[in-house]
Amino acid sequence: MTRFESSYKTPMFTALLFAALLAGGGIGRALAAVEPGVTLAPGALAGAATEPTVVSSTPSDRATAVPTSTNTSDNVVTGAAATATFSQPMDPATINSSSAGDVLTFTVRETTGNNVPGTVVMNAANTVATFTPTWSALNPNTSYTATVTTAAKNAGGVAMANPIAWTFTTSAAPFTGQTPVSLGLAGGFAILTKSGITDVFPSAITGSVGASPITGAAIHLTCAEMMRGGVYSVNAAGPLPCRVTAPNLLTVAVGDMETAYTDAAGRSLPDFIDLGAGLIGGLTLVPGLYKWNTKVSIATDVTISGGPNDVWIFQIAGTLIQASATKVILEGGAQPKNIFWQTSGAVAMGTTAHFAGVMLSKTMIAMKTGASINGRLFAQTAVSLEQNAVTRPAR
C-alpha cells in the first residue's frame, strides 16, 4: 500500500501551533471535535473544512508483477482492480462513473496514454474507491498510471487540493507461441471471395484469384492485370484467356478459407487485449495473439517485428481501417505469410497505403486508389480494387 502523507513535519511549527491553541483555548475545542475512533489526516485541524487526500492505494506506487486479473470461486474473471483510500468520507457522486472518461475523477490508463475502460464504485463508508476494468483483464507486460483528480470532493463538498497519481506494472507473461493458420487450398490464391471482385483498371495481381459460389461474371478483372496466376471461376464466365473453370476446386478452397477464419477467431489466451484501445498506429507489434473487442485503426505507420518463423494473429471484433499513405512495416525477417488479420467487420485500406499479411474478413475488403498489399485478400463477401497491387507471398 502506498502512503500519501503530508511532508511537513517541522517540530517548531507544531510547538508554535500548540502554544497558540493553548493561549486561545482552542486546544479544547479541537479535541472536542474529534469523534471516537476517527483519525485526522496529517496536519488537519479538527472541525475544519479540510481538503480530502488519498492516503493509500493498491497496487502500491511503482509496484511490479501486478496480476492482470482475478478469478472468483464462480470462475468469473475480472481485471485486477485499483483502489484509492481517502482520508475522510467522500461524496460518491463526484467519484463514481459508468466508464472511464465520463467523469474524469478516477482513471486508469496505459502509460502510453490510452484510457482503460472501467467502472468506479465506493465502499459503504465512502472512503475507498475501486476502479475495475470493463474487460476481463489488464494486459501483461504493461505499465499503467492511476489518477484521482481534484474533481473528487468530500461529503461536505470540499475538493481535493491536488491530484494524486501512482504507477504500476503488470506481471510479465511469456508470449503465446502461435502456430500458423492453415489455409488449405485457399493458400494458392492471392484473392478469394464469395461475392466477386470489382476493379478500377489497372490493378496488378501476382497470384491467382477466385470467386465462389458467385459466377465468373462477378470477377471484373482483365487478364492484362494478372501478372501471374489465373482467374478461377465456377462456370464458363470471366476473362479470357486466363480464366480457369474449376467449380469443385473453388468449393474446397472457399471452405478452407472459412475454416481458416474460424481457426484464427477461435485462438484463446491472447497476449494482448484491446492494445492501444484499437489505435495501433506508431506501435511495434511483437509475435503473439492480439484481441480487440472494438474496431482497429492504423492512423500512422505500424511495425511488425519478429523472426521469419514467428506468427502474429490479430482478432478484431469490429472494422479495420488503415489511413491513406500509411504502411505496415515488417522488421527482423517477419513474413507476410505468418501474419493473420481476422476481422468481423469490413476492411478499408486508404489511398496509397501499404499492408502486409493474410486478411481474413467476414465481410468486405476495399482497397482505395494506389493501395498495395504483400499478402492475401480473403473476403466472405466481396473485394473492391482501385488500381492496386496485390502480391501473394510465398507459401
CB–CB of 173/165 below 8 Å? Answer: no
Residue 323: the pLDDT is: 98
CA-based nearest residue to 378, from 388, 364, 391 = 364
Residue 48: the pLDDT is: 44
Q: Determine phi and psi for 355, rounding to 5 degrees.
A: -120, 165
Residue 79: the pLDDT is: 75
Residue 5: the pLDDT is: 43
CB–CB of 109/152 below 8 Å? Answer: no
- For the chain, give the mean pLDDT: 85
Return d(Cα 50, Cα 40) in angstroms, integer: 10
Which domain-ending residue is among 170, 194, 220?
Answer: 170
Q: Where would I find the H helices in the chain?
A: 11-24, 26-32, 247-266
Residue 80: the pLDDT is: 84
Q: How many helices (H) and strands (E) does the chain have?
A: 3, 33
DSSP letter (8 states) at residue 257: H
DSSP letter (8 states) at residue 336: G
Average pLDDT for 260-277: 89
One domain for residues 358 and 289: yes
One domain for residues 109 and 206: no
Instruction: Give 97 or 229, the one with higher predicted confidence.
Output: 229
DSSP letter (8 states) at residue 235: S
Residue 102: the pLDDT is: 52
Average pLDDT for 27-48: 36
Instruction: Give 351 or 170, the one with higher predicted confidence.
Output: 351
One domain for residues 355 and 208: yes
pLDDT at 9 over 70: no
Provide the β-strand partners of residue 121: 130
pLDDT at 13 over 80: no
One domain for residues 218 and 135: no
Instruction: Give 13 or 312, the one with higher predicted confidence.
Output: 312
* Structure confidence by residue, pLDDT tens digits, 65-92: 888 877 655 555 677 899 999 999 999 9
One domain for residues 286 and 332: yes
Per-residue cell: 72? 472468483
Residue 342: the pLDDT is: 98
One domain for residues 216 and 336: yes
Amino acid in the structure at residue 2: T
Which range marks the domain in which residue 326 is found? 184-391
pTM, rounded to two decimals: 0.63
One domain for residues 259 and 372: yes
CA distances from residue 370 to 201, 204, 205 in whole angstroms, order as listed: 11, 10, 13
Domain count, the chain: 2
Residue 24: the pLDDT is: 41
Per-residue cell: 95? 467519484
Residue 37 lies in a domain: no
3-class secondary structure, 188: helix
pLDDT at 44 over 70: no
Range in 47-56, 97-106, 226-235, 343-352 the model is least confident about = 97-106
Q: Which long-range contacts link 66-72 to residues 24+ away (Cβ below 8 Å)?
A: 66/138, 66/168, 66/169, 66/170, 66/171, 67/170, 67/171, 68/137, 68/138, 68/139, 68/140, 68/170, 68/171, 68/173, 69/136, 69/137, 69/138
pLDDT at 329 over 60: yes
CA distances from residue 9 to 50, 156, 316 in whole angstroms, order as listed: 18, 27, 54
Return d(Cα 324, Cα 352) in angstroms, integer: 6
Residue 165 lies in a domain: yes
Residue 363: the pLDDT is: 97
DSSP 28-51: HHHHHTSPTT--PPTTPPTTS-PP
The enclosing domain of 147 has a CATH number of 2.60.40.1220
Sort 61 into a burial class: Cβ within 10 Å, 0-12 / 13-18 / 19+: middle
One domain for residues 249 and 328: yes
Residue 311: the pLDDT is: 95
